[in-house]
Structure 1
Amino acid sequence: MHARIRTSTIVGMVMTMLATLGVSLALAPPAHAQVISDIAYAPAQPAGSRGHLLDLYLPSGGITPRPLLIWHSGSAWTSDDGKTGADAIAAIFNAKGFAVAGVSVRSSSQAIFPAQVHDIKAAIRWLRAHAGDYQLDPNRFAMMGDSSGGWLTEMATLTGGVSSLEGTIGTTGVSSAVQAGLAFFSPTDFLQMNAQNLPTGGLDHNSPASPESLLIGCAIQTCPTQVALSNPINYVDSADPPLLFLHGQADFLVPHGQSVLLYDRIRTSCGNAQFISIPGADHGLAWVLDPARFGTQTTYTAQNCYGTTQVGSPNPTWDTFDGFLRGGLKMGTSCQVAWAPTVWGTGLSANVTITNTGATPIDRWVLTWTWPGNQQITSTWNATVTQSGAQVTARDAGHNAVIGASSATTFGFQATYSGTNTPPPEFKLNGIVCTRVFG
């Protein structure tokens, strides 16, 4: 028994250190407007444990309600403190307008599968039930994680609506679905891991002491029915939210072939996914995000029952991930604003045309700008517009909430001013800077 615990603990420590190193090397020091720590989304099980806690990182400024990115750090399921590392993720995504939640779930020594999935779903339900308290957008939840945290991300992303995995922990009666997922070097089909190990070796995943066996509660080859329930690949269907996943081809701990299997299943199931495969990269964020490997990666994209392959782009960067999440959450990835004012005396009227220049629809939009002068809006049409000082926020009027790819919508307003009437220097749509066109 001692050897079994030691084996799992060592593996967990290695995976945790690799993941932590990758984040610390890749990201800037944390800076958040507000951090709320150790929120209990359910009672501790067992008493005094950390597996039912989350930390919430809220940005300053930006649009509200905010999209939410949920983070869980990998540990080979040996840790009940998976919210560790969320501060580094928030240092990137708070600045992009996202709220970030670091969520912990129970370790495999505290509870076996499906407890970990029950836990993450309970956390998502709690966050959605309390969205109004923290100005979160309940319709724009995404999840991200590495290694076993990537496994948890894929389970959360692919099992929305699977009642058998909801559990009864904490808040119930609220959706546990997420609208996009981003997973790093994750296991997807436990029973095939040994066969996919590198020629130079790898973990014995079939061992009773392996992380996968400890998670399931049996040597995985002896209980295939239970193992099948824990494999993300078995929950894929065409209705799943978009999923982006990355894997290094030299991964010693979780074979690269695990992500190949998942991509093939999503593609043949007419799902929506991107798989970035990085040559020479081992297990850890420092490996798959290493700029020295930029341009060497292959990206496989599955959409509309077809698959495409692109070599050398996009590079696996946080800006790439931000663009994917915005597209998946239907916030928009690129835009153009045409500004056509008519000026008279001390007044003006303007028609503002927003064009979605991205490849995915925008569902619910907020356009913001700052007046360079003392312009004051007096009336509007086709949008709800508010102004505080020089700051202006225009929200869709409901009937024009959706802007399809390569489509546009127009709203207008009247305003007064004195002195100069210089146009706004910048427009942001759902937090992204738009190209300006002046009429």
Structure 2
Amino acid sequence: MAPYASALPAEQTTTAGARVLRGVEYASPPGFRPLLLDLYRPAHDPQRPVPVVVFLHGGGWRTGRRDQFGPAFAGWPVGPFDRLVRAGFAVASLDYRLSGEAVFPAQLHDGKAALRWLSAHAGALGLDAGRVVLWGESAGGHLAALLALTDGRPEWEGEVGEPGAGVTVAGVVDWYGPADLRTMQRQSRPDAVSAPDAVDSREALLIGAPVPQAPERAAAASPVSHVSAAAPPFLLAHGTADRFVPSGQSEQLAEALRAHGCLVTLHLVEHADHLWAGLPDPEAVFAEAVEFAVQVCGAPGLAAPA
């Protein structure tokens, strides 16, 4: 793994007043596009380094953008990234290679590279690499869980980006993320809009083969396979009417975490579909996640925004 460095872009200011570095290049895998992140920070330098929320977007590992938190939040006058900054966090929202570019574990390697980059540059950017919350939705929730559950395992670090130590993961917010690719098909609702075991499914594109034909690859790409007693606290939130990722996935991951004595909160949101569709107001699920992030970071002065 060769050292990696890239110049920082000019700092901008969001309409809500947060500072943001857009398009920071955190790694450049040979033969692929540069991998970028956006880093949001408080308007004024705090007296002490701030904890970090690392956000991973959804999109079935095929699509998605780092500047989008999800369609349920698109109309908020003050968006989720700015709200998290107001709550006392920095926010790093990541690109990662999509399944049309590379198969698993490339996506996990990219996330690991981003965490190492944040750790290496934490001092210069006023970040506390010892207090990091991973937060993802859908495919991003899957990757957030995998990043946390493979922490400290060098075989999953990959060769992307700069070397060095990663961050300390204080907790994980996993919104409706896949947890076990091998059980998704049988857990799916009768009105499911996709068949995870199909040859052209999102899951097949992720691992490079249909799930039933590649059980070892499917297991390796499943967070439940990596659960151990070392896992950080988890907040799992999932709609009971999810037609893309069955809510049984979060139930299965919660059961595995509890079996290892890990701290986990499972919130099944009645009647909500994927992406919180059908939920009249996502304010409560967002506030719950912010409160969880504040609690696991254990930071005086951090509080959920009013």
1:142 correspondence with 2:133 = yes
> What are the within-5 Å matches in structure 2 for residues 400-439 of structure 1?
429-432=300-303
Partner Cα separation in structure 2 for residue 32 and residue 236 of structure 1? 39
Counterpart pick for 1:71 among 37, 50, 55: 55
Stretches of 4+ aligned residues off by more than 4 angstroms: none
Partner Cα separation in structure 1 for residue 89 and residue 278 of structure 2? 25
Contact 2:131 2:168 (8 Å CA) reproduced: no
Counterpart pick for 1:41 among 26, 36, 42: 26
Contact 1:89 1:100 (8 Å CA) reproduced: no
> What are the within-5 Å matches in structure 2 for residues 39-438 of structure 1?
39-47=24-32, 49=33, 52-61=35-44, 62-79=46-63, 82-85=65-68, 88-287=79-278, 290-291=280-281, 316-331=284-299, 429-432=300-303
Using structure 1 for the length normalisation, give the TM-score.
Answer: 0.61
Contact 1:188 1:232 (8 Å CA) reproduced: yes
Contact 2:291 2:303 (8 Å CA) reproduced: no
Partner Cα separation in structure 2 for residue 226 and residue 317 of structure 1? 32
Which is greater in Rg? 1
Letter in 1 for 2:298: K
The 3-state SS of whatever aligns with 1:35 is strand
Contact 1:182 1:245 (8 Å CA) reproduced: yes
Aligned residues: 282
In structure 2, the partner of 1:31 is 16
CA 1:431–1:268 in 2, change beyond 3 Å: closer, same or farther?
closer
Could you report, residue by residue, the CA deviation over 1:283-325 in whole angstroms, capped at 9, with x for unpaired residues?
013545x449xxxxxxxxxxxxxxxxxxxxxx94433222211
Could you report, residue by residue, the CA deviation over 1:354-379 in whole angstroms, capped at 9, with x for unpaired residues?
xxxxxxxxxxxxxxxxxxxxxxxxxx
CA 1:432–1:256 in 2, change beyond 3 Å: closer, same or farther?
closer
Partner Cα separation in structure 1 for residue 127 and residue 245 of structure 2? 34
Letter in 1 for 2:302: G
The one of the two structures with greater contact order (alpha-carbon pairs below 8 A, sep at least 6) is: 2
Unaligned runs of 5+ in 2: 1-13, 70-77
CA 1:212–1:39 in 2, change beyond 3 Å: closer, same or farther?
same
Partner Cα separation in structure 1 for residue 142 and residue 245 of structure 2? 11
Contact 2:180 2:224 (8 Å CA) reproduced: yes
Contact 2:144 2:174 (8 Å CA) reproduced: yes
Letter in 1 for 2:116: R
Between Structure 1 and Structure 2, which shows a larger proportion of strand residues? 1
Contact 2:196 2:203 (8 Å CA) reproduced: yes
CA 1:432–1:191 in 2, change beyond 3 Å: closer, same or farther?
closer
Unaligned runs of 5+ in 1: 1-28, 293-314, 332-428, 434-439
Identity of aligned residues (%): 32
Alpha-carbon offset, residue 37 of structure 1: 1.1
Partner Cα separation in structure 2 for residue 165 and residue 30 of structure 1? 38
Alpha-carbon offset, residue 107 of structure 1: 0.6
CA-atom RMSD, angstroms?
Answer: 2.1
Using structure 2 for the length normalisation, give the TM-score.
Answer: 0.86
Alpha-carbon offset, residue 145 of structure 1: 1.1
Alpha-carbon offset, residue 116 of structure 1: 0.2
Partner Cα separation in structure 2 for residue 176 and residue 227 of structure 1? 27
Contact 2:88 2:303 (8 Å CA) reproduced: no
Contact 1:203 1:253 (8 Å CA) reproduced: yes
CA 1:201–1:105 in 2, change beyond 3 Å: closer, same or farther?
closer
CA 1:267–1:431 in 2, change beyond 3 Å: closer, same or farther?
closer
